[in-house]
Amino acid sequence: MFKFALLLFLVATLARSSTAATVVSCLEDHGLEVEDSQSPNWMDATTPFNTRFRYIPAAIVYPKKTSDVSEAVLCAVKYGLHVSALSGGHSYSASGYGSRNGTLVVNLRNMGRISPHSSSDNNFVIQSGIRLGDMASELYSEYNRSMAHGTCPWVGLGGHAGFGGWGLASRNWGLVIDQVIAAELVQADGTVVNVSATERPELYWAIRGASASYGIVTQYTMKTQEAPVNVTRFAYNFAFNFTADDRAPERFAEILSAYQNWSFTAPKEIGIVANVWQLGQDLELGGIYMGSRTDFDPIAASLLNATGEPSQRYVQERSWIEALEEVNGVTKLSTEGIPEPRDTFHAKSLVVSMENPLAPDSFSKLAKNFTTSIPSNFSWFIQFELWGGHNSHISSIPADATAYPHRNHHWTVQFYGRTNGSWFPQYTEFVDGLADTLAQGKELGAYANYLDPYLQGWKKKYYDRNYARLEEIRKKTDPSGVFLKSQNIGAAD
């Protein structure tokens, strides 16, 4: 019996690479929970949200506290491994797994606690391994508080807050990074530092848009808002028949162009997106207005006066939490006990600025593009997200105030194509073709949270003029590239 166990142990050890085995011993010597290729759960533990990407880590470590994270970084450095934080694992390209094989992945799933910062403010200390759905649900039910953040309950705060973090309340309250007052960070040499406007302001600047290049954020101190009692949920649908109606592309363009023009002066209390789905028979303008239906009615009237009559209207007052559930299509936001969702997809984003809006005919060209030669067994959507406009909190912040640069922002347009498993190059080409058609040769920015691993010229597109300063800071804080990976600061363009 004992001999058999010993034999199994030897076989298991030999099957690992020697670096993986030594880093695992180092982590285990510190009493940390670790998984590697010998773990029965390894397949699941290494499957990211986007199943098109799979990187095999040297090991995955599950810290419970900040000092565990620090020890994990030091073990990786000792054996010459790169380190990558994994929070919700919802990166579009599995970047949390390190974007290459052989990384030490620091999975923050055991670090998701929320606690009030102090009795004299309404700030909260939130560990970065929490999922957005759990965060929203706990802030609301325990404290009657709320924040602006993205919609998918499964997205992790760590990645979301790392590169911006937009949601339907963001025009009112800002991006997630705009609500970050301070953060605790484990650096490449294992040291733990706090960053804020007064402590290490350069790092505080850098983590608000490019955190993954500077270390592992273990917790954020966040500004919160009293949860509104009611908000107004709305959705207006416009129907088309592109196969039967030659004028449909022009009508489609007119509505989007009217929405774009209206967006410039939209009040900050409105969170709105236009969604177009498969075949484009349906265009929906929907979102949340952070106020009563009575206050919303004249705003809706001005929008619909510009777009023309929708074929369907939906307007309903909802409690804050009901509204969040509704926009996510879920009955509860907490992720507890629900199996991790996965998808197989390619996505792209275009950032449209206020001074360079899209020409009306780019929308009709888009409609002509997506109604021809759609690949089979493939579905897609395009989302025209209103981030800016003159009244938006997002655009009230100077472009160099945080690492995230797109402050003269109007829309973020997201293109997303998916399948049920297999992937062919024509799917990627279709999605890229939609984005190219809408851009009409304009050099537009991109959003680093809608990560596109094939993006050419990402330094300028994600970070614009802030890139050079980000690179200067990174050279000082991570000179040997412990956190370096594809599309992190310092990587090849």
Ligand X SMILES: Cc1cc2nc3c(=O)[nH]c(=O)nc-3n(C[C@H](O)[C@H](O)[C@H](O)COP(=O)(O)OP(=O)(O)OC[C@H]3O[C@@H](n4cnc5c(N)ncnc54)[C@H](O)[C@@H]3O)c2cc1C
Name the site residues for ligand NAG (rule: CB under 6 A). 56, 101, 144, 184, 192-194, 226-230, 241, 243-244, 254, 257-258, 261, 281, 301-302, 305, 317, 360, 369, 372-373, 376-379, 418-420, 433, 436-437
Rounded to a whole number of angstroms, the minimum distance from the CB of residue 407 to ligand NAG is 22
- Kindly tell me which of 30 and 117 has the beta carbon lying closer to ligand NAG: 117
> Sign of the CA dihedral 406, 407, 413, 418?
positive
Q: Which residues contact 322 (CB under 8 A, 6 or more apart)?
A: none
Rounded to a whole number of angstroms, the minimum distance from the CB of residue 216 to ligand NAG is 13
Alpha-carbon distance of 259 to 17, in angstroms, equals: 56
Q: Which residues contact 67 (CB under 8 A, 6 or more apart)?
A: 192
Alpha-carbon distance of 270 to 249, in angstroms, equals: 27
> Residue 486 binds which entry of ligand NAG, ligand X, none, with Cβ cut-offs from 5 to 8 Å by kind?
none
User: Closest Cα to residue 152, out of 228, 229, 235, 91?
Assistant: 91
217 forms part of the interface with ligand X (CB under 6 A) = yes
3-state helix, strand, coil in the chain (%, to 5): 35, 25, 40
Rounded to a whole number of angstroms, the minimum distance from the CB of residue 103 to ligand X is 9
The first and second tokens of residue 410, run together, are 């109007």
388 forms part of the interface with ligand X (CB under 6 A) = no
> Sign of the CA dihedral 399, 464, 369, 359?
positive
- Residue 304: exposure state from Cβ atoms within 10 A (0-12, 13-18, ≥19): middle
280 forms part of the interface with ligand X (CB under 6 A) = no
Q: At what angle do helices 201-210 and 467-477 cross, to 10 degrees?
A: 120
Residue with tokens 């929203």: 136
Stretch that binds ligand X, among 52-60, 156-164, 246-254, 368-376 (CB under 6 A): 156-164
Among 57, 63, 88, 389, binds ligand X (CB under 6 A): 88
Among 159, 291, 310, 405, binds ligand X (CB under 6 A): 159
The first and second tokens of residue 43, run together, are 């397949």
Rounded to a whole number of angstroms, the minimum distance from the CB of residue 396 to ligand NAG is 22
- Kindly tell me which of 18 and 144 has the beta carbon lying closer to ligand NAG: 144
Site for ligand X in 105-124 (CB under 6 A): 108
Stretch that binds ligand X, among 20-28, 84-92, 367-375, 428-436 (CB under 6 A): 84-92
Q: Which residues contact 206 (CB under 8 A, 6 or more apart)?
A: 213, 214, 403, 470, 473, 474
> Residue 419 binds which entry of ligand X, ligand NAG, none, with Cβ cut-offs from 5 to 8 Å by kind?
ligand NAG
- Kindly tell me which of 370 and 447 has the beta carbon lying closer to ligand NAG: 370
Rounded to a whole number of angstroms, the minimum distance from the CB of residue 11 to ligand NAG is 18
Buried b (16+ CB within 10 A) or exposed e, 446-465: bbbbbbbbebeebbebbbbe
- Kindly tell me which of 92 and 240 has the beta carbon lying closer to ligand X: 92
95 forms part of the interface with ligand X (CB under 6 A) = yes
> Residue 373 binds which entry of ligand X, ligand NAG, none, with Cβ cut-offs from 5 to 8 Å by kind?
ligand NAG
350 forms part of the interface with ligand X (CB under 6 A) = no
User: Closest Cα to residue 159, out of 488, 416, 475?
Assistant: 488
Alpha-carbon distance of 215 to 476, in angstroms, equals: 12
165 forms part of the interface with ligand X (CB under 6 A) = yes
Rounded to a whole number of angstroms, the minimum distance from the CB of residue 184 to ligand NAG is 5
Alpha-carbon distance of 307 to 304, in angstroms, equals: 5
- Kindly tell me which of 25 and 281 has the beta carbon lying closer to ligand NAG: 281
> Residue 401 CA to chain centroid, in angstroms?
20
> Residue 87 binds which entry of ligand X, ligand NAG, none, with Cβ cut-offs from 5 to 8 Å by kind?
ligand X
Strands (E), 420-469: none
Rounded to a whole number of angstroms, the minimum distance from the CB of residue 128 to ligand NAG is 13
- Kindly tell me which of 198 and 372 has the beta carbon lying closer to ligand NAG: 372
75 forms part of the interface with ligand X (CB under 6 A) = no
- Kindly tell me which of 174 and 249 has the beta carbon lying closer to ligand X: 174
Alpha-carbon distance of 353 to 359, in angstroms, equals: 12
Q: Which residues contact 283 (CB under 8 A, 6 or more apart)?
A: 237, 238, 240, 252, 255, 256, 274, 275, 276
90 forms part of the interface with ligand X (CB under 6 A) = yes
Rounded to a whole number of angstroms, the minimum distance from the CB of residue 286 to ligand NAG is 18
- Kindly tell me which of 79 and 381 has the beta carbon lying closer to ligand NAG: 381
Alpha-carbon distance of 156 to 150, in angstroms, equals: 10
The first and second tokens of residue 370, run together, are 């997506």
How many residues touch ligand X (CB under 6 A)? 33
Rounded to a whole number of angstroms, the minimum distance from the CB of residue 151 to ligand X is 4
Phi, psi of 13 (to 5 degrees): -65, -40
Site for ligand X in 411-450 (CB under 6 A): 449
Alpha-carbon distance of 280 to 244, in angstroms, equals: 13
Rounded to a whole number of angstroms, the minimum distance from the CB of residue 424 to ligand NAG is 8
> Residue 162 binds which entry of ligand X, ligand NAG, none, with Cβ cut-offs from 5 to 8 Å by kind?
ligand X
Binding site for ligand X (CB under 6 A): 49, 84-92, 95-96, 108, 128, 150-152, 155-156, 158-160, 162-167, 211-212, 216-217, 449
